């Protein structure tokens, strides 16, 4: 992206860091998250037009504090520090940072002074605070431009150096004028034009793929979900018949899923698509496995080995392509981010593979951006708005040991849930909805007879980018109808529950 305007977001481990990237992109400027330890040489090479230093849990003066190379602040790049980032700039530039006796968390009213950073912002507005340390004195040459009753330096800046720090979080919706602050930084302070759009992304990525692949062959893992569908269409636009799509039927697909994928992509779009029956291979490896991370890593390895075997039989294939997206990368561990769960196409990959390289054209995109790319590529709404389906498939929706009985039960229950959601017209309102077979059996009564059967959990969430999600408020009448159908139509189930947990603290998937 060296030919595009780029804003680098230096990651200091804060909870809102990916959201900062999203907000900047939404404002029309391409942004990437990079570790706080990125060298000054690397930053010069990337040639960003702006820098944002994120929040984080550390204290700037603690022994384990995360400190970047201070010379980066002397490169003449417009810079915005947020929360910890603001404290760090002040600390490195000779200001004063202190620890408060109690943490300030929540909404505060901030008063501002005239500044390019606060253009079109009222003299008083509500901001969101989340910090223990605070800037008590701005560095020499920096002016205090914002304050609250409890925070004497809520914002400060140096107009000439184009370096600013804000103690509040402009990236969260609780800050009334947060988007305006970020917009001002991009356009008033950094003087950017804003050239990031999905149409531009497609043109750039198609060119990159053609340059990298040339006349070589690419094997793409097709799952049927929106990510692999958009990745496949993007790759097909770039290299046409040199793309070979492969669907691995690992025995963990939803009901009628394989047939639907073939109908849409092979028969409809006309892509090269082969289906590999690998049910026995995967299920035998998963036999007796109950630990979620182990399941994911087994599936990740078997995916690669299956593709390698296919490649050997069909002739030399140089590249493997996948529909990896940004949340996959983050959750699989990025920089200082904790490993939440290994995604089969990121953290679950074996260390040695028989391909020259893995191509992931959507790796830097959030889910909503992937959908925008899909529409720009001309894909039908039924494909672009298809709810996400995890690469490990139903394996992460069967709690405990995976058995044929549980899988068949899950397919039927999941199909009923999805069918009723669609009939109710909620399929475009709810981000993701599916059933889970728990490892719990309980006593029930059916037809005056005692039963001891499985509990099925229903999960439905609303979200924008999968980084956070809220449970969907499905009407009780609809939940009752789904529950009744599952109990009456699916053998082996005598109890249905609904998951009302948001992300965080939970993840969307149960495993």
- Under 8 Å CB-to-CB from 408, ≥6 apart: which residues? none
Q: Name residues whose C-beta falls within 8 Å of residue 94's C-beta, 6 or more positions apart in sequence.
A: 139, 140
User: Does residue 169 carry a catalytic annotation?
Assistant: yes
Three-state DSSP class for 173? coil
Q: What is the spatial distance between Cα 201 and Cα 370, in angstroms, rounded to a whole number?
A: 11
Residue 171 annotated in active site:
yes
Do the beta carbons of residue 456 and residue 495 sit within 8 Å? yes
Q: Which of 5, 131, 151, 169 is catalytic?
A: 169
Angle in degrees, 0-180, between the axes of helices 404-423 and 476-489, rounded to the nearest 10: 140
Q: Which residues contact 314 (CB under 8 A, 6 or more apart)?
A: 244
Please report how the helices 279-286 and 292-314 are oriented relative to each other, as an axis angle in degrees rounded to 10. Answer: 150
- Measured CA to CA in angstroms, residue 327 lies from 332, 439, 466 at distances of 8, 28, 7
Find all residues with CB under 8 Å of 432, minimum gap 6, and list them. 387, 388, 459, 460, 461, 463, 469, 508
Could you list the beta-strand ranges (E) of 250-384. 273-277, 319-321, 357-359
How far apart, in whole angstroms, are the C-alpha atoms of residue 121 and residue 180?
Answer: 7
Is 151 assigned a catalytic role? no
- Indicate the pairing of strand 218-221 with strand 243-249: parallel
Q: How many helices (H) and strands (E) does the chain have?
A: 14, 18
Give the phi and the psi of residue 202 in degrees, each rounded to 5: -60, -45
Q: Which of 5, 131, 151, 171 is catalytic?
A: 171
Q: What are phi and psi of 362, to 5 degrees?
A: -110, 10
According to DSSP H, which parts of 52-168 are helical? 84-92
CB atoms within 10 A of CB 259: 11
Catalytic residue from among 5, 83, 131, 344: 83
Q: Say if strands 449-463 and 432-446 run parallel, antiparallel, or are unpaired.
A: antiparallel
Q: So which residues are the catalytic ones?
A: 83, 169, 171
């Amino acid at each position: 992206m060296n030919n595009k305007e780029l804003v680098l977001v230096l990651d200091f481990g804060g909870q809102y860091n990916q959201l900062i990237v999203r907000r900047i992109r939404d404002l029309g400027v391409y942004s990437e998250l990079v570790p706080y330890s990125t060298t000054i040489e690397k930053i010069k090479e990337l040639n960003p037009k702006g820098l944002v230093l994120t929040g984080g849990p550390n204290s700037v003066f603690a022994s384990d504090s995360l400190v970047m190379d201070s010379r980066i602040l002397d490169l003449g790049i417009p810079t915005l520090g947020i929360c910890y980032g603001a404290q760090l700039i002040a600390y490195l530039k000779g200001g004063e940072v202190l620890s408060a006796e109690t943490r300030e968390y929540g909404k505060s009213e901030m008063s501002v002074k005239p500044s390019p950073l606060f253009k079109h912002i009222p003299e008083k507005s509500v901001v969101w605070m989340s910090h223990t340390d605070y800037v008590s004195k701005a560095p020499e040459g920096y002016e205090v431009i914002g304050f609250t009753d409890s925070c004497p330096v809520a914002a400060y800046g140096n107009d000439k150096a184009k370096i600013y720090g804000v103690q509040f979080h402009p990236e969260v919706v609780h800050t009334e004028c947060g988007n305006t602050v970020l917009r001002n930084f991009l356009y008033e302070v950094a003087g950017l034009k804003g050239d990031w759009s999905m149409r531009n992304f497609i043109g750039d990525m198609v060119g990159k793929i053609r340059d990298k692949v040339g006349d070589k062959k690419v094997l793409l893992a097709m799952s049927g979900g929106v990510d692999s569908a958009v990745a496949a269409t993007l790759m097909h636009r770039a290299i046409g018949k040199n793309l070979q799509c492969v669907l691995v039927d690992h025995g963990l697909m939803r009901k009628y899923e394989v047939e639907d994928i073939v109908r849409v992509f092979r028969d409809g779009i006309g892509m090269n698509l082969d289906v590999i029956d690998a049910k026995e291979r995967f299920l035998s490896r998963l036999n007796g496995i109950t630990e979620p991370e182990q399941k994911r890593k087994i599936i990740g390895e078997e995916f690669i080995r299956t593709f390698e075997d296919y490649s050997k039989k069909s002739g030399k294939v140089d590249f493997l392509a996948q529909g990896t997206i940004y949340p996959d990368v983050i959750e699989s561990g990025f920089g200082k981010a904790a490993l939440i769960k290994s995604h089969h196409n990121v953290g679950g990959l074996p260390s040695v593979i028989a391909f020259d390289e893995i191509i992931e054209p959507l790796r830097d995109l959030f889910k909503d951006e992937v959908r925008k790319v899909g529409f720009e590529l001309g894909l039908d709404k039924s494909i672009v708005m298809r709810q996400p389906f995890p690469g490990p498939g139903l394996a992460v929706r069967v709690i405990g040991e995976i058995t044929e009985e549980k899988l068949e039960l899950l397919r039927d229950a999941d199909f009923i849930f999805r069918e009723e959601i669609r009939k109710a017209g909620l399929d475009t309102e709810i981000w993701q909805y599916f059933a889970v077979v728990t490892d719990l059996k309980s006593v029930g009564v059916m037809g005056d007879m005692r039963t001891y059967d499985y509990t099925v959990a229903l999960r439905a969430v609303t979200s924008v980018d999968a980084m956070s999600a809220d449970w969907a408020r499905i009407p009780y009448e609809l939940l009752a109808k789904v529950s009744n159908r599952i109990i009456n139509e699916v053998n082996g189930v005598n109890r249905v529950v609904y998951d009302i947990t948001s992300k965080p603290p939970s993840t969307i998937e149960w495993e």
